[in-house]
Structure 1
Amino acid sequence: MTAGLIAVVALTLVFDYTNGFHDASNAIASAVSTRALTLRTALVLAAVMNLAGALLSTGVASTVAKGIIDVPAGPDALAVVFSALAGAVGWNLVTWYFGLPSSSSHSLVGGMVGAALVAAGTVHWGGIVEKVLIPMVASPLLGFVLGYLAMTAALWLLQRANPHRTGRVFRRCQIGSAAALALGHGLQDAQKGMGVIALALVVTGRQASFEIPLWATLACAGALSLGTCSGGLRIMRTLGRRVFPLDPPHGFVAESVASSVLYVTAFAAKAPISTTHVITAGIMGVGATRRLSAVRWGTARDIVLGWLLTFPAAAAVSAAVCFVATTVR
């Protein structure tokens, strides 16, 4: 490999690592906050399931590799890919520092668009609308509605059950739902890095197709899992406590709904949706069944603001990096 390609692969793994510790809270925040799992056990479980999920499919990776941008051929091709990753990593670190559960997926897509615009590359706006923007809006709405409906049904079915016994049963069930959500996170988020590596291999002529090599799958899955092991306590507090104070039944339903949405979009639509958006919306949905005021809408507003800023902020950072990289030699 050339030095430039090695740098892109290395930064991709850094992105996956930051994705792991940034989004580790997605799968385990509710299980830890309800004491279904200890923090250490939850992190190990999430890391293992992230690794397993990354090996299940490459559909989302193909969308990222060839459905977002076309990188112009020439000496600046790798600079474009590197700049896209720089924007995504930068935004991940900013939102992690402030404890905001933003989307690593959309920061990467925003970074790719920003870099391509500066380098006069082709942006597939139709693909972005179909595979990114529509799912970006639809998936959290679906998570909220399904969370509300599923929790309403659960409350109706359990209205005469003993609350303490129900709590114990759902606390055990949360181990399974947290594992399912972590599997969905690996299925979705590890593939973004794989797609970037495939794109870098194609623009450098190392391979002719956007096929995902096995070493890239294993490397991205490993980096995501290592990042997950390092945890994300800042964001975990936001999801597990500040949006809505979860109990085991609410946590189980939110996780089950979110993981279902992740599986459908990954296998059926092959769309790179945000695990963060879906689980946060699911938590809001189950919380709204208690009463609307039970959801801390001020915190929810801050999260939504972070969502809206993610795409343009990552694009701006990557555009600036790409401008410097392609003009200063």
Structure 2
Amino acid sequence: MEASLVVVVVALALAFDYTNGFHDAANAIATSVSTRALTPGIALLLAAGMNFAGALLGTEVAETIARSIVNLEGASTQEELTVVLAALVGAIIWNLVTWRLGLPSSSTHALIGGLVGAGLAGGMAVYWSAILDKVVLPMVVSPVVGFAGAFAVMVGVLWIFRNASPGRTARRFRLAQTVSAAAMALGHGLQDAQKTMGVIFLALLAAGWADPETGIPLWVKLAAAGAISAGTYAGGWRIMRTLGRKIIELDPARGFVAESVSAVVLYANAFILHAPVSTTHTITSAIMGVGATHRLSAVRWGIAGNIAVAWVLTIPAAAAVAALATWLLWPLLG
């Protein structure tokens, strides 16, 4: 029974990773596609490849997911696996709902909300202080930094190129967007694929199939990297339209700045703070920041408001679905 549960959890975790890929594909490439710096096909190939590479660059975020969200000690193996399974159900359902609505919500926070909801429903302890430090504060600070940083850098770019030929400048920034889109996709793989690694590692630890001292097995890293890359290549066209067109009409310079600032924020959180931040929140706020340099009215704040509502609802909504799944599964599997 336990072996079957582990297999189900791993399969569902990879399914979540796949939905994360197509849900968040727009994060890396929407700006490049909307400014015509890259064709959709080339952009998706680039994003999928860089997602795979980014997933193999570190495990710090995965360790945070596996060890710093919910305390499964003292529970039976089946109870632990049931909690992880229910958490994934909550995260996947919220991902699919927001994808269907075209809202760029956070797969990161959907998974964390799922873990919290399933853990509480299963009577587990939740590391609230760690969630505050590693989740809530980065959730608030990262979009602010993304907006302010993108605004400031864009002001600098506008000043530096104030006398340059508009046509030549646009062509140069379209070329530069190939690099910034790749950097953004690398950061997406670095952040988001690691969350799936953390969940699989959590299940393997519960079943005694992994050694906490040796860390995440290589096959887990490769499987998570492959799943998110496949999902990214499948594409997220609904959300891509929201990020690339509906918030603001982007030009190549603004697209380059938004992607570059977002990538820096993702790398800083992964390598320095080890915090699982949302790539969705980061790129969306950066797009708003570069748009605000044109004029505040250029940003479609109504669309931005709808996105903000999805951000706020993600953790509690995913937690509620995961809690319900836990209560349904507990009598059968607990």
Instruction: Give the TM-score of the pair, scaled to structure 2.
Output: 0.97
The residue aligned with 1:25 is 26
Aligned partners of 1:45 and 1:179 also within 8 Å = yes
The residue aligned with 1:240 is 244
Which of residues 105, 110, 121 in structure 1 aligns to 2:108?
A: 105
The residue aligned with 2:57 is 56
Which of residues 295, 310, 315 in structure 2 aligns to 1:311?
A: 315
The residue aligned with 2:82 is 79
The residue aligned with 1:194 is 197
Tell me if 1:144 matches 2:147: yes
Displacement of 1:70: 1.2
| Structural mapping, 1:261-300, within 5 Å | 261-300=265-304
Aligned partners of 1:111 and 1:318 also within 8 Å = yes
Aligned partners of 1:26 and 1:275 also within 8 Å = yes
Task: Give percent identity, aligned residues only.
Answer: 58
| Structural mapping, 1:35-50, within 5 Å | 35-50=36-51
> In the aligned structure 2, how far is the partner of 1:313 from the partner of 1:158?
45
Displacement of 1:208: 3.7
Instruction: Give the TM-score of the pair, scaled to structure 1.
Output: 0.99
Aligned partners of 1:262 and 1:275 also within 8 Å = yes
Aligned length: 329
Displacement of 1:76: 1.5
Displacement of 1:204: 1.2
Matched AA of 2:96? L
Matched AA of 1:161? A
> In the aligned structure 2, how far is the partner of 1:174 from the partner of 1:227?
22
Aligned partners of 1:73 and 1:203 also within 8 Å = no
Displacement of 1:100: 0.2
Tell me if 1:133 matches 2:136: yes
Which runs of no fewer than 5 residues in structure 1 stay unpaired?
Answer: none
Matched AA of 2:124? G
The residue aligned with 1:7 is 8
SS in 2 for 1:76: helix
Displacement of 1:141: 0.3
> In the aligned structure 1, how far is the partner of 2:196 from the partner of 2:257?
29
The residue aligned with 1:70 is 71
Query: In angstroms, what is the RMSD of aligned CA positions?
Result: 0.9
CA deviations over 1:241-265 (Å, ceiling 9, x no partner): 0001000000000000000000000
Matched AA of 1:56? L
> In the aligned structure 1, how far is the partner of 2:230 from the partner of 2:319?
26
> In the aligned structure 2, how far is the partner of 1:87 from the partner of 1:118?
12
The residue aligned with 1:251 is 255
Aligned partners of 1:15 and 1:89 also within 8 Å = yes
The residue aligned with 1:325 is 329
> In the aligned structure 2, how far is the partner of 1:225 from the partner of 1:207?
25
Displacement of 1:213: 0.6
Which of residues 147, 153, 158 in structure 1 aligns to 2:161?
A: 158
Which runs of no fewer than 5 residues in structure 2 stay unpaired?
Answer: none
Displacement of 1:203: 1.0
> In the aligned structure 1, how far is the partner of 2:176 from the partner of 2:14?
33
Matched AA of 1:126? S
Matched AA of 1:104? S
The residue aligned with 1:260 is 264
> In the aligned structure 2, how far is the partner of 1:183 from the partner of 1:293?
32
> In the aligned structure 2, how far is the partner of 1:277 from the partner of 1:212?
27
